[in-house]
Amino acid sequence: MSSDAPQNPVLTGAARIQAYLKTLPDAPGVYRMLNAAGDVLYVGKAKSLKKRVTAYATGRVHSDRLIRMVQDTAEMLFITTASETDALLLEANLIKRLKPRYNVSYRDDKSFPYILLREDHPYPQLLKHRGAKTTKGVYYGPFASAGAVTRTLNTLQRVFLLRSCSDSIFDSRTRPCLLFQIKRCSGPCVQRIDAGGYNALVVEAEKFLSGKSSAVQKAMRTEMEQASEALDFEHAAHLRDRLRAMSHIQSSQGVNPSTFDEADLFALHVEGSQTCIQVFFFRAGQNWGNKPYFPKLPFDMETHEVLQSFIGQFYDERTAPKLLLVSHDMPESGLIAGALATSAGHKVEIAVPQRGEKQQIMERALTNAREQLGRRMAENSAQTQLLEGVADTFGLDTPPRRIEVYDNSHIQGAHALGAFIVAGPEGFEKAQYRKFNIKAAELTPGDDYAMMREVLSRRFVRLAKEDAQASVNDKWRRPDLVLIDGGPGQLAIAIQVFADLGVEDVALASISKGPDRDAGREHFYLPGKEPFRLDPKSPVLYYLQRLRDEAHRFVIGGHRKKRSMAIGANPLDEIGGIGAARKRALLQHFGSAKAVSAANLTDLSSVEGVSATLAKKIFDFFHPS
């Protein structure tokens, strides 16, 4: 249920907050504080909304951050909840979605990858998985990165020889593939191993991934010795290679705990206003990687507040393990554990290691957090100097906070795509990169100027709409500098688009390639100025080249993906009533979609699963006349 006092746009600060006290219940809930423009300043939860808001109204706040927040507050919104635990979960959800200025901002919503051992096929497949767990099977993870999963999968293929191919490829194989030849698959698709032997490999893989690696290694070592004694040296050598690969996985994982099987570890290090939180994942008694986070924080926030808020948001869409190891005491650890247990469906313990192995692992994690933050601060310092150099180069009043770099890609006009990348004080902001499929029907194939006009128009029309609505979408916010990959022609198009849309206060520049890319011979163009070049040894030139090349890499990658999808497209996919099974039957019967298009009604009806009605539908699709 929601309640709010009558709006008074003139009143702000504690006096404005005071007006809500008469209608607030003495119940748990979540509150939002908004400024006069309607932007959310802060999201908080309270055991008693009335008592918490009374503290703000009476000035019982003890930091400059909260004093500024109260002064800026022009409106408050409230939601009552059944319990404080529910309020904590809702608070974390709202903070992630709204990203208020005075909260800890956790900005990485990307799901973690898992290893999936499928159980919906007679010959289970081992593969990388990210996203919802809808496929029947056993999920092992999370892993810190896709690279960690890929490396582990490559080694697991050498150890357990389980297939990684899709079902369609598995069903269509008539001879062993390359993976079988290099001893990374047992070849179940062509009966080089029977179901019983393959199932034995699956059981070994399950044991290893579940933390029973010692038992698997012991059994494999015994089998190797027996093969050697029986003079079956080829089989013994094969087992030896599998044991080496298994040892490689374990050695590459670093610290593997012996006193606990499953836990997530959070190590926080703070220097000034900068923070690094290293998150380590331990599953099945193995270290499955770590990932550093640099949450955006307001000033004057206590360490335990940062950690509490970060953990709440971290598990907003993830399941917590049974144990969380944290580097600092958190006053609300019991409440957080209860909330995470409610979401996970099992008991969750939060502990600060004090001695023994857990404390030693935490010390290593804290060292990693400190060193990672040091590297990031050094990079940010260099980045700041580069942005100051960009401002000097292009005559900007201040260093740009957001640079957008635009580029197009096509092959003789086909599969045309435009895109921009975003860079700023923290480097490349890949979550804000955008692609544009070129849609204009009247566009002449290969017309780079028209493509650039369409991309810039679509991007800045959106900006104009948001400006008119006084809304702020972080992914589409106003850039300080737009850099075009091109010469004076592309720059003229950008100038025209900006003039047509009334875009002001956004600097424009273009960079044309020299005779050799990255040779330092690039020319730069600014509106109303003569073109110029930078010193070939200039760090700013190298930085601008990196921006241009990143835009080129991004748009080329998108273009290649679009082209490959078009190549793989099949006209049968466009016919209603043809699913995967009937499509496979048609292609196996006729050999190609082209042959299907040339078939008559009698031939089409002879395919298993194709009725006379469907045959007529297929024939009419290819022969509309």
CATH of the domain at 610: 1.10.150.20
Would 106 be classed as within a structural domain?
Answer: no
Residue type, position 498, single letter: F
Cβ-contact 231, 225 below 8 angstroms? no
Would 329 be classed as within a structural domain?
Answer: yes
Distance, in Å, from the CA atom of 561 to the CA atom of 564, rounded to the nearest integer, reads 5
- 30: β partners: 45, 79
Would 382 be classed as within a structural domain?
Answer: no
Distance, in Å, from the CA atom of 531 to the CA atom of 363, rounded to the nearest integer, reads 55
Distance, in Å, from the CA atom of 209 to the CA atom of 137, rounded to the nearest integer, reads 13
Q: Taking residues 439-458, report their average pLDDT.
A: 78
Residue type, position 467, single letter: D
Residue type, position 96, single letter: K
Domain count of the fold of the chain: 5
Q: Which DSSP letter does residue 400 get?
A: -
The verdict on 408 and 536 lying in the same domain is yes
The verdict on 73 and 138 lying in the same domain is no
The verdict on 580 and 472 lying in the same domain is no
Taking the CA atoms of residue 569, residue 112, residue 319 and residue 358 in that order, the dihedral angle to the nearest 10 degrees is 160
Q: Where a domain ends, among 228, 252, 276? A: 252
Q: pLDDT tens across 219-254, in order? A: 778 878 888 888 878 778 777 877 776 666 555 555
CB proximity list for 393: less than 8 A, separation 6 or greater: 524, 534, 540, 544
Q: pLDDT tens across 409-445, in order? A: 866 546 678 889 999 988 888 888 998 887 766 666 6
The verdict on 238 and 367 lying in the same domain is no
The verdict on 22 and 169 lying in the same domain is no
The verdict on 119 and 81 lying in the same domain is no
Q: What range defines the domain where residue 181 resides?
A: 114-252
CATH of the domain at 270: 3.30.420
3-state secondary structure of 47: coil
The verdict on 519 and 607 lying in the same domain is no
- Checking if the pLDDT of 538 tops 90, the result is no
Q: Which residues of 453-492 are buried (b: 16+ CB within 10 A; e: fewer)?
A: bbbbbebbeebeeeeeeeeeeeebeebbbbbbbbeeebbb
Q: Where a domain ends, among 526, 551, 566? A: 566
The verdict on 55 and 192 lying in the same domain is no
Confidence of residue 312 (pLDDT cuts 50, 70, 90): confident
Candidate ranges 58-62, 148-152, 313-317; pick with highest mean pLDDT: 313-317
Distance, in Å, from the CA atom of 358 to the CA atom of 355, rounded to the nearest integer, reads 7
In the block, which residue shows the tokens 């902001």? 429
Cβ-contact 106, 63 below 8 angstroms? no
Q: Which residues of 7-39 are buried (b: 16+ CB within 10 A; e: fewer)?
A: eeeebbbbebbbbbeeebeebbbbbbbbbeeeb
Would 380 be classed as within a structural domain?
Answer: no
Q: pLDDT tens across 179-228, in order? A: 888 888 889 999 898 988 898 888 888 887 776 666 777 777 887 888 88
Selected residue with higher pLDDT from 598 and 278: 278
Establish how many alpha carbons lie within 13 A of residue 608's alpha carbon, considering only the half-sphere containing its beta carbon: 5
Q: Where a domain ends, among 218, 252, 286? A: 252
